Structures are given as structure tokens and as C-alpha cells.
Structure 1
């Protein structure tokens, strides 16, 4: 037997004799390794390495063998589907052994799911596993079931600790938070296992639950051995977390774990799967304490040390899922002993498929490639290592992919590389470590290298990473630039849309941070709005366009560009993801636009209202006449909005509005919501009032008015009030009753809301009272309203007009109100001339023509007189009448 010297400690480890010299063994292993690996990597360029599983589904959605189906889903790492399938199976297995097994498996799935994920999501899965275990423990009445659940809960904690240890081994520095999390998981797991260890002897002698098969002593002892093994595992994990300054404590902890594992090893035989787990753990513990000969005795017992074939025959007894781990451990053990070249033969056999699929063994192959790179400095080994790392992730999932990436970075970063994938991996690792300046430099290097070597996908990926770092650092302008580059280099339209949206989001943050009011800021905002609008128009049905539409509408409403906000909101259909929020913003813009119109309409404002009404009308034309109630409801709401603007745009024929609303009501039929139909009818009544047609609502409609929105009620009330002004006789009385029904109880909700809407309501209520010739009540409300808002000039003038319309009994109050209005108006303004005329007119109507004549002559003789008054003709006519 050839003996190789471990150079660090002078100890010798036996390696199986092959009949060749050590140098020959090494050379043959290296050649075979390179040939086999190159062939495999070549096949990976065309082969699909994604995991495929059996299809066991039936046409009705059930499966022939639910547990086998769950297993296939787990194998493909489809943990969500596996968990859902297992939950469905468990729900059909109440109070049975199958249910208990399903619950244990459910906990294992959640823990494995946590290992595959990262960050907050990983923590969520581990915590879910603990929560489920505690819930089932609280409801279980079977002591044995409770013991098994407790053990499985402890194993979740150990899985968590092992995962964190793997991450710690790949990190540049130890993260104190990760260490604390791992130690807490180990402590909790050990406490649970200690509890089970103490309970097992007591439970063995208890009577079995009624109706349940008894556990014999063999089963109890198997559980006890498993618990003891996992307690030793907890000790093994704990040993890793000692700080470098605590080296002796660390070695003692590993030694103690090895001794506990020895105790378990004496209680198991190789026909038990547990025995092989013990072997792997013992070998690791001894290797960590540099007891390499003892570790080899565990992993390669003397009886099978004569040849590799003898050891492989012995290894074939191990469960298939453990063979790769055991081979990887032997590779690392021989490498630690200084026989790394000879140890490479195991990776050759692994590549040839001798041990099946094994993530642990694939990591060992990656180690071997990196060893060859460090020894030869040949870049082909580095390139092969990068390709093998990608294979590991494709074959075994994200968790193993991350471990491979950390190994690549840790062992090649210092050497530098012309491999763009490796440079990207190093930059990724620096990002995870928080070393962002180094990461940025790495991504820039990777992008430059990718551009030089014709790797557009990698160049784009580097730009995306740079954009993400800039965004995380709050450098929105830089982030926007990088995402714009990624969009320009995108491989398809979906990528272009995504990265353009990322760029726009960062540009929004950048422009919002500029100094307000400067020419540069105004220009930046203009350009951004144009870019965002172009995005919405290019991808109108995308989720990003839905968000962009909301951003643009909010910005334009804030900037006073109300018609434009309505126009872009009208372009969003009923199926838009943000439809509800879009409608809310459209309603806000309509309210503000109509408020401006009430304050005084200009030609420009009329044009804006017309433009917005046209956009809403076009959206109605474009919307398909779908049968779904939601589609009809949207059309009705949109029609009501359109009618509110169309009635005020100065160019829409009210009779045309009525006809269109009737058509929409007819198309909805019985599919629309009753409340919305009434809202539509009320809007129609408002339009009919403007058109001079019949205005009526049924008793059922009137009973539903309180359910309608305030804007719709106010619009309808104001339209009815306008119609009332020109009506007389029975029509006037009917309109007054209808207006009162709309403006009274349904709008009581505005009592506690002082402001424009309440003023509008009160004016409509007063119009209704005057239409019903209840002048005393109307005057009382007029006086209360103008007293509440003494500084509102428009309202004060309206009050004077309403008091004038109240008739002879209230002329004195009308004259007094016109005097107050004149006193608060600037001399020789339109309002001032109107007030002076009304005072003279009402004074004459009261019978005091002499006084009225004096007022007119004084006004005429006081420069500049009424020559410039807009109502000059009215002054002169009244003067002539009084002089007769």
C-alpha cells in the first residue's frame, strides 16, 4: 500500500494501492478528469439540465398516488405545489397514521423550501414550519405523535443552522446577526431534542392509545438513536460558531461531538440509513479537529481499504442520497492529507455518473477545478469552474448555486479573471457582503469585458446590477441612466418595457428632488412627463402603464392640468389593474375643473372642459359592449362623468346627451347595479332639464337617492335649478318638488362639511323653496348663508339676486343686500354698477320713485357717470321711465 505524507502535520494516510506509482496515479486521474469534464461541459451547451418529473395527473385534477406526486414535486423543487398537494391529501385523512406522516412531511417541505430561498422569504418558511409544528402539537392527543412532531421541529432548527453555517463559510467576514440566529436555532433544537430524550423511557412503558397499533421496543430504540444522533449534530453545528480566538474551545466542541457520535455509531448497523449519516458526521468532526487518520478509519474502514473497488462495494450499501456526500467527504479528507491530486479520481467517477446526482459531490468537483486553476494558473480550469458552478445551480437549485458562487469568488477573486461570468459572480458576492464600491467597480469591469468579447447579455446584466446599486444608494439619476442603457440593449419588448419603467421611476425621484421653480427644474419635469406619457401610449395595457398613468394623472392634477389628467385617465379601460384609482383621480380632476367653471368660465376653460368631455366620450365608444355586470357598471360611471362635463362644455347638445345616456341605460338592461342605474337616470334628468324635455324620476328612484354620490347629486340639483329659472306654472312646481327631493335628505351628509359643496347644496335647496313659492323659508336660508360667508363676493351677489327674486315682501332686504354688495365692490366696476342699478330699481318698485330718481341723477352727474357701465342701457331706460 502506497502511503502519502500529510505535509502540514507529518502524519501519513494510507491510500489504496493501484499497482502504479503515486505520480502515475496523479497523472492518469488528472487526464481522465479533464477529458470527462470537457465532454460533459460541452454537452451542457445543448442539453436541457432542468429537472423533469413524472406527470401523474388525471383529467379530473386528482392523482393516482398523492404521496408519489408530492415526492416528484419535491424532487423538482416545486415546494409550493408540493405543500398544497400534501395539504389536500392531509385534509382527506383525519385522525389517521397517514395524517401524522403527512404532517411530518409537511414540516420537512417547509424547511427545505426555506433552504432554497433567501432573505426574508427564507425566514418566513422556517417560521411557518415552527408555527405548524406548534399548532399540531397543541391539538394532538397521541404522545407518540407529539414526540415525532417535536423531533421534526428540532430538525427544522438544525436545517436552519446548517444553512447559515454554509453561508458563513463562504463569507469574507462573520455577520454577528447570522451567528446569533444560528446559535439560537441550535439552542432551541437541542432543547427540544433533550426533552424528547428524557421522555422516551417513560413513554416506552405507557399503555398505547386505544385503537392504535403498539410500538415495539425496536421502534422506540430506533427513535432514541435518531434523537441522540441529532443531539450530536447540534453539538457539531455549535462548534463551528466559536470565534478564531476560541480555537481550543472550538476543537474541544468538535471532539465532544465526535465522541457523542461514536456512542451512536456503536448502537447502529450498516443496514440502517442512520448509520451512514453517523459516518459522514463523524468523519467531518474528526477532519475539523485534524484527526485525519481517525477520520479515514471511519470513512474507509480497514477491511475495505485494500482497493477503491472494495470501498465502492462497501459504499453501495449506503442510501443513494448519501453516497455523494460520503464520496465528497473522502475527497476533502484525502485533500487535507496532502493527497489532493490522487483524490481527484473520485470527482472523475462522479462525472462519469458512478454516484448519481449529488449536490455535495458536484461542489467537490468544483473544488477540484479550482485546485487545478490554483496549481496551473491555466484559465481553462477557471472557465470550466464557472461553467460547473452554473450547472450546480441548474441541477440542484438556488441554494447550491449560491454555495458554488461563494466558493468561486472566495478562491478566484484575488487572482483576477478574463471570464466575464466570474467577474460578475465576484461583484455579486461583494454586493451581498455590502462592499458596494468594490461591487460597482466589478460590474463596470464586467460590462467592459462583455462588450469587448461580444457578450451582450452579460453587458446588459452588469448595467442592471449597476442600476440596482445606484437605486439602493439613493442616486436616482445614476440609476435611471443605467436602466435606460439596459432598456436600449434589451433582448425583447418585455425587457425593454421593464427597464424603461425602472428608468422612469428613478427619473421621477430625481425630478422631485430638484429645486422647485427653476428653469432647469421646469424643463426636467416637462421632459419627464413627455417620456412617461410616451411609455403609457406605447404599452397601454401593461401593469407598468397602469402605474404610470396614475403617476402622470396625479402630477397633472397637482400642476392644474386638469383636462389632460382626465384625458389620460379616460384612456384606461375598465380592465386596467388600477381602474379604481384612475376613476378616483378622474373624479377629482372633474370636480376641480367644474369648480373653476363655477368661479367664472373663460373661452380657454370651456375648451378644456370640451376636450376632457370628448376624451371621456371616446372611451365610451371604444369600450366593448360586454355582458359582464362590471363592464356595464364601468360604462355607466363613465357616462355620468362624461355628461357632467358635456353639459358645461358649451358645444354639446343636451338632447344628444339625453339620447346617449338612454342608449347606455338600455344596453345595461338588468345587468347593472340598481344604484348606478339611478345615478344614470339622475344624470339624464339633469340633461333633460337643460334640453327642455320632461324631467321626472320614479318613486323608487327617489327612494334610492341617498345612496348616490355627492358630485352626481349636486350636478343634477344644479341642472334642475337652472331649468327651474325659466319654468312656470305646473312645470315650475314639479321641478321644485324634484329639486327638493334631490337636494334635501340625500345631501344632509354635507351638514358637517363647510365649504364649496355645502354652499352648492344650500343654493339648490333655496332654489327649490323659491320654485315652490316658499319665499319666507327661502329668505331665511339666504340670510343664513350670506352671513356665514361675508367675504365671498360671488355668494354675496347671488344672495342679493335671490332676495330680489323673493318678491315685494322682501324688497327691503334685497335693497340692503345690494347696498352691502356695492360697498364691498370697487367703484365703477361691473358689480358696482349692477348693484347701483338694482338699488334704484327696487326703490322705485317700493313706490319711492322720487328717491330712486335722485339716486340715478346723482350717479349720472358724478364723473365718470355711467357712460362706461355695461348696463348703461338699463340705467337710461329706468331714468326715462321715472321721468315720465
Structure 2
């Protein structure tokens, strides 16, 4: 038990010594190793001192549990392990320090007795000989090392011992600078009978590294390259065959030589060196090493390695929470090597980060716009550009730069998974663009929009959500700007018959367009029949249809708007009795659609009455309050316009200042005065807003300026 406890401490100390070369705090690991080894040496010394007395007692009074031979074996094992512990302690000191030399010498002296006592056929004898040879080599007593090593009969040794003896033989020759004799060894097998030794692998690595340094001194570049590759391959074999611990020790040997090399041109070794610096938390040095390796890789036209090393350098910044620097490095890398398969992905990561910042830091928005333009410019094809164009379109849309938004959205490919949502935005932006143009230019732009969506639905075999949204947008544009109702019906029917079957939501949306087209072409009975069919479905589909009709009405000519409004009024009257069991939220949406439909149908008084009741019942509903304000403001009646001004002032008072909704409410107050004929009051309100809050950041800035211009004439 005493021996086992001492050996546990010795193993711990030896492990800590080896790990000290890997540890971030090397001195701390060495101190811990010495503490464990001292404890082991103390226990083994005490056991060695006590064993003769124990053996003498056994001779006078034999015991059943341990024989004299077994106790003698324990004694020799104790002497061996004590010597080994002394050597391990000596190795915690560097170079030619006196503590190191004294420790090795003490180890050798402790081995004299067991070498003399032990049978040479005993496996432990080989371990003792190896320890003695190692110690002589450390003291540069190479002749003595060879002499003691020759005491083992190699032919009778176990495979494990044969391999370890060969490793020590190689190291002795290496210490004697007899490299040529190492290369001429008759037996260079790395395994015997399936057994291998990490010691032998490590010894050969030491040979390769020695030859690397020698070739460097001789300025033999070809040999240097050969030995670098051989060393790297052997390190990989050690890690694969003997595990991560031995692999790490092999890497450290390699890295130590690489760090002293003046002609280091093997990228794999440079990368391992940089990885080691990173593991030791020498982060600035790691970055420098990664970047130096990347530059060298570029010189060798190895783009893959250059990209990987630059990326690892950026990852170091991320590891110390320098996110902005990390993102800057990613952007720089993506632009520096734009043709690498991962460059667009890295660049998009930067875009995503800035996109998240915009809500809290509006001042970074110009950077976002710049990044998106940059992405589209460098990667016009590929899986990331569709997302970039979508975000780019959204930014232009927020700026009401409709032409740019249209251009960005229209470039999104059919493969984009959210194409249906993108095409909805594209249609909306195209409508906004058309509405601000003069009649001739608007017609030309409408033709372009129709042509674009028509191209998207040509020769479709398997209908995707984006394809069917393109059909809805095309039909809507044909109805709104071309009066091509029959063509709209035709493309909707064609898509409805395609595979896979359309979703219920698409059917509801397309039904709204079909109803409008049928009614516009005088096919009222067919329109009513379609409404009846929808009436047999779920009430949720009814409200979807009404909301779709509302959207169409808000975007159509006055004549079509009135037709849609009348159709809505008729539909609501037809279905109203069937919604009594629906919840309050559904009924509120239903009544809101009723009020809107009355407004579109030209029944202003009824619309205002409906909205007034809704607004009174739902004082906190922004959409209802704004709907009431809009219907009042659209009236030609002076009393209604005065009520509109009051309503929009209330809305402004309940809206966060300087928000888009707040600026919209302020504009509508001024517009109310303008429509009442009070132009001076309208101008005063806008000028006051300019002086106090300012309108430069208002989304509807141009509307304010246009209204101010009209009021000042």
C-alpha cells in the first residue's frame, strides 16, 4: 500500500512535468510537479529505509501474505522507482543547472544496487537499464550509456522493450552526432508483432528535426523542405497512433524547432506554431503568426490556406471579445479574397451584425447601406446575394427611394426561400413608384412591372410560393393599371390548376382578385357565385378576402375603388348574420372592413358614422383611430374636416414623438387646415415643426415640403 501511494504521487509529478511544456503558466505547473515528486521521493526513501528491517523480521517469523522473494522484488521496485523519481525531479530544472546534474547523478547511484541484484531476464531489468542509459546520456557519458544498454539481450527482450531500447540507441547516436549511423541501422521497424512505442516515434522525430536544423545550417532548401514535411507527417502519425497527449508532445518538439527556424516555409508547421501560441494565450503573437502564414500562403498561391489563416487571426480577436475588430477583419478578408467559397458568407455575417445595430444606433445605417452595396457588387451570384438584395430593398423602401427598392427586389432569384414575401414588397414599391410619376412615365413603368412579373411565371412546371405570389402581383397590376381583367383571370386560373395544389391562403387572395375582375367585366353573377363559395368556407377566409379587397381598393382607380367598395358592402351584408358566434377580435376586424367598404363605395356619412362608433369603442386601437381620421380627412364637408383636425391632433398626442406615425399625424393636421382653405395656418404649423423638432428625419419629409409650397402660393 505504501509503494502504491508513492507511485501515484510519482506518476502525478511526472505527468505535471510533461504538461508544464503545454501549460499556460509553466512555472506553476513545474512547481506542482516538484511538490508531487518530493512527496513521492520522501515516501519511497522511507520505504527503502524500512524494507531491510521488514525482510529481517520475515526471516525470523515467516508470514502467509508476502514471501521473502516478493519482499525483495518490492525492494528492487522501490529502488527503481526512487531513482526514476529523482530523474524526473532533475528534469524539472533546465540546461546545465547544478540541481539538474546532481539529480541525474543521484539517480544513477540509486540504480547500482538493483542492476547488481536483478536477474537480467526480468522485464524490470530492461526498464532499469534504460533509465541508467538515459541518465548517462544526460550527463554526456555516451560510452557508459552504450555499455549499460548492451547488458540487455535484445533477442530475448519483449517487443515493448526492444522498441524502447532502439529509441534510446537512436538518441545516444544523435547525442554523439552520428546521424549517418542512425540512417544505416539494420532494423528500422516502428512496430514488432503489432506493438508500437511512442518513445521510438518520438526518437525518430528528434532525428528528423535534427536533420532539418542541419540542412538549414547548410542552406540546403530542398532538404529543409523534405525534413519539414517528414516531421509533420510523423507528428500526425504519433497523434493518430498514440493519442492526443503524445501528439501534443510531438507538436511541441516540432514547434520549438520551427520557432528557431530562419527558413520556415511549411504552412502546416507555421499554423501549428500559431495554434500553440493561441493555446498559451499569447494572443498578439498568435495573430502575427497567423497573418504571417497567410501572407506566405498567398505568395505560394495557396488561397485556401491563406483564407483559413486570416480567418483564424480574426477568431483570436473574437476570443477576447473584440467584436468590432473581429467583424472588420471578416470584412477585410472577404474583400481581399472575394472568390473564396466562404467569403460572401463572412461578409453577410458582418451585414447581419450591423443590421441588428441599426434599431438602437441609427447612426450606423449609412454603414449598412454601404455594406449591402458592397456585397451585391462583389457577389452578384450565389446563395447570399438574394438575402443582401432583400435587405437592400428594405433600406431603400424605408427611404422611399422606390426606384432603387424596385431594382434591388427585382433581382432576387427564384431560389430564395422567402421570395413570396419579397415579391409582395416589390409590388408595393412598384406601385408607389408609379404613383409619383407623370402619366406617360407611369404607363411605361407599369409596363415594366407587368413584364417583370410575367417573366417570373413563364413555363412553370412545379409551382413554388414565390411563383404564385408573382401571379397575384401580376394580376393585381393588370387590373389596376391595364384594365386587363380577362388576362388576370386567365393567369390566376392557370396557376390554380398547377401542382402542387395552392395553399388556402393563396386561394383566398386570388379569389379577391377574381371577384374584382369578374365584377369589372360585368360578370356580376359569377362574382356573387364566388362570394357564395367563399361564404361556405371558414370565417377566417372571409375576413382575409375582405382585407385583400381593401388593399386592392386602396391601390386602384376611383372607378374600380367604388366597384370594389360596393362589392364589399354587398358581401358584408350577405355574411354578417353568420359571424355571431365569432370572438370580439374577429367582430372588430369585420366592422372595420364594413366602415372601410362604405368609404370606398362613396357612402361617406355611413362610413364616418361606422368609424365614429368603432373609435369610441376602441380608443386604444391605432389602426381604427387612424382609419377614422382618414375618412374624415377625405371628406369635402367642412365640419368633417374640423373633426379630422381634432382627431389627428388626438392621435399625435397619443403617439411617441418623432416616430413615423407621429410625423404622419402632424402632416394630416396641417393637411386638414389646407383642405379647409386655411393655408396660412397650414404653413404656420409646418414652419413651427421645422423650427422645433425639424422634419429632416421625417419619412414623409417631401410631403411636408410639397404641402408647404402649396400653402405659400
Q: Helix, strand or coil for the counterpart of 2:461?
A: coil
What is the deviation of 1:665?
0.9
| d(CA) in 1 for partners of 2:283, 2:678 | 73
What is the deviation of 1:658?
1.8
1:140-289 correspondence runs (5 A): 168-171=19-22, 173-174=24-25, 243-244=30-31, 247-253=34-40, 288=88
The answer as to whether partners of 2:629 and 2:644 remain within 8 angstroms in 1 is yes
2:508 is equivalent to residue 681 of structure 1: no
2:436 is equivalent to residue 636 of structure 1: no
Identify the structure with bigger relative contact order (alpha carbons < 8 Å, sequence gap 6+). Answer: 1
Deviations 1:749-794 (A, max 9, x none): 894999xx999735335459x79x9x99756414335776899899
Seen in structure 2, the aligned counterparts of structure 1 residues 457 and 781 have a Cα distance that, compared at 3 Å, is: closer
Q: Helix, strand or coil for the counterpart of 1:672?
A: coil
| d(CA) in 2 for partners of 1:167, 1:557 | 63
| d(CA) in 2 for partners of 1:363, 1:741 | 90
Partner residue in 2 for 1:552 = 392
| d(CA) in 1 for partners of 2:187, 2:543 | 75
What is the deviation of 1:661?
0.8
Partner residue in 1 for 2:461 = 625
Partner residue in 2 for 1:499 = 343
The answer as to whether partners of 1:480 and 1:506 remain within 8 angstroms in 2 is yes
The answer as to whether partners of 2:489 and 2:517 remain within 8 angstroms in 1 is yes
Deviations 1:90-114 (A, max 9, x none): xxxxxxxxxxxxxxxxxxxxxxxxx
2:273 is equivalent to residue 436 of structure 1: no
1:492-531 correspondence runs (5 A): 496-503=340-347, 505-506=349-350, 522=366, 527-531=370-374
Seen in structure 2, the aligned counterparts of structure 1 residues 685 and 386 have a Cα distance that, compared at 3 Å, is: farther
Partner residue in 1 for 2:332 = 481
What is the deviation of 1:173?
2.2
Deviations 1:505-541 (A, max 9, x none): 44776899899999x985x6665333322355322xx
Gaps of 5+ in 2: 1-11, 48-65, 68-79, 90-103, 116-121, 131-147, 647-667, 680-709
| d(CA) in 1 for partners of 2:172, 2:33 | 22
| d(CA) in 2 for partners of 1:700, 1:782 | 29
Partner residue in 1 for 2:497 = 666
Match of 1:534 among 367, 377, 382: 377
| d(CA) in 1 for partners of 2:129, 2:286 | 52
The answer as to whether partners of 1:689 and 1:719 remain within 8 angstroms in 2 is no
What is the deviation of 1:382?
5.7
Seen in structure 2, the aligned counterparts of structure 1 residues 327 and 632 have a Cα distance that, compared at 3 Å, is: same
Seen in structure 2, the aligned counterparts of structure 1 residues 306 and 828 have a Cα distance that, compared at 3 Å, is: closer
Partner residue in 1 for 2:484 = 653
| d(CA) in 1 for partners of 2:427, 2:556 | 22
| d(CA) in 2 for partners of 1:722, 1:457 | 53
Report how many aligned residue pairs link the two structures: 548
User: What's the TM-score, normalizing by structure 2?
Assistant: 0.57
Gaps of 5+ in 1: 1-160, 177-240, 261-265, 268-279, 488-494, 805-813, 836-868, 870-884
Seen in structure 2, the aligned counterparts of structure 1 residues 780 and 429 have a Cα distance that, compared at 3 Å, is: same
What is the deviation of 1:497?
3.5
| d(CA) in 1 for partners of 2:516, 2:187 | 83
Seen in structure 2, the aligned counterparts of structure 1 residues 674 and 504 have a Cα distance that, compared at 3 Å, is: closer
1:785-804 correspondence runs (5 A): 796=629, 798-799=631-632
Match of 2:158 among 284, 305, 315: 315
| d(CA) in 2 for partners of 1:732, 1:765 | 5
2:258 is equivalent to residue 412 of structure 1: yes
| d(CA) in 2 for partners of 1:725, 1:555 | 31
The answer as to whether partners of 1:464 and 1:482 remain within 8 angstroms in 2 is yes
The answer as to whether partners of 1:724 and 1:732 remain within 8 angstroms in 2 is no
| d(CA) in 1 for partners of 2:349, 2:569 | 53
What is the deviation of 1:409?
1.4
The answer as to whether partners of 1:797 and 1:818 remain within 8 angstroms in 2 is no
| d(CA) in 2 for partners of 1:666, 1:659 | 11
Q: Helix, strand or coil for the counterpart of 1:244?
A: helix
Partner residue in 2 for 1:784 = 613
Seen in structure 2, the aligned counterparts of structure 1 residues 826 and 454 have a Cα distance that, compared at 3 Å, is: closer
- Higher mean displacement: 428-437 or 354-363: 354-363
Seen in structure 2, the aligned counterparts of structure 1 residues 792 and 478 have a Cα distance that, compared at 3 Å, is: same
Seen in structure 2, the aligned counterparts of structure 1 residues 443 and 641 have a Cα distance that, compared at 3 Å, is: same
Q: Helix, strand or coil for the counterpart of 2:342?
A: helix
Partner residue in 2 for 1:327 = 163
Partner residue in 2 for 1:817 = 640
Seen in structure 2, the aligned counterparts of structure 1 residues 821 and 637 have a Cα distance that, compared at 3 Å, is: closer
What is the deviation of 1:175?
8.7
Seen in structure 2, the aligned counterparts of structure 1 residues 827 and 638 have a Cα distance that, compared at 3 Å, is: closer
Deviations 1:360-415 (A, max 9, x none): 34344223323455678647676455313432466555957665433311343145
| d(CA) in 1 for partners of 2:490, 2:403 | 25
Deviations 1:314-359 (A, max 9, x none): 334x6xxxx8xx8358736985999676899599678555546958
The answer as to whether partners of 1:721 and 1:764 remain within 8 angstroms in 2 is no
Partner residue in 2 for 1:831 = 675
1:564-575 correspondence runs (5 A): 564-565=404-405, 568-569=408-409, 571-572=411-412, 575=415
| d(CA) in 1 for partners of 2:299, 2:556 | 77
Seen in structure 2, the aligned counterparts of structure 1 residues 703 and 299 have a Cα distance that, compared at 3 Å, is: farther
Match of 1:390 among 213, 227, 232: 232
The answer as to whether partners of 1:447 and 1:458 remain within 8 angstroms in 2 is yes
What is the deviation of 1:662?
1.2
Seen in structure 2, the aligned counterparts of structure 1 residues 251 and 501 have a Cα distance that, compared at 3 Å, is: same
| d(CA) in 2 for partners of 1:615, 1:705 | 34
| d(CA) in 1 for partners of 2:44, 2:521 | 93
Partner residue in 2 for 1:145 = none
The answer as to whether partners of 1:283 and 1:298 remain within 8 angstroms in 2 is no
The answer as to whether partners of 2:512 and 2:548 remain within 8 angstroms in 1 is no
Seen in structure 2, the aligned counterparts of structure 1 residues 647 and 822 have a Cα distance that, compared at 3 Å, is: same
Deviations 1:1-49 (A, max 9, x none): xxxxxxxxxxxxxxxxxxxxxxxxxxxxxxxxxxxxxxxxxxxxxxxxx
Deviations 1:807-849 (A, max 9, x none): xxxxxxx7743665699987998733699xxxxxxxxxxxxxx
Q: Helix, strand or coil for the counterpart of 1:497?
A: coil
Partner residue in 1 for 2:549 = 716
The answer as to whether partners of 2:489 and 2:514 remain within 8 angstroms in 1 is yes
Q: Helix, strand or coil for the counterpart of 1:434?
A: coil
The answer as to whether partners of 2:355 and 2:368 remain within 8 angstroms in 1 is yes
The answer as to whether partners of 2:205 and 2:231 remain within 8 angstroms in 1 is yes
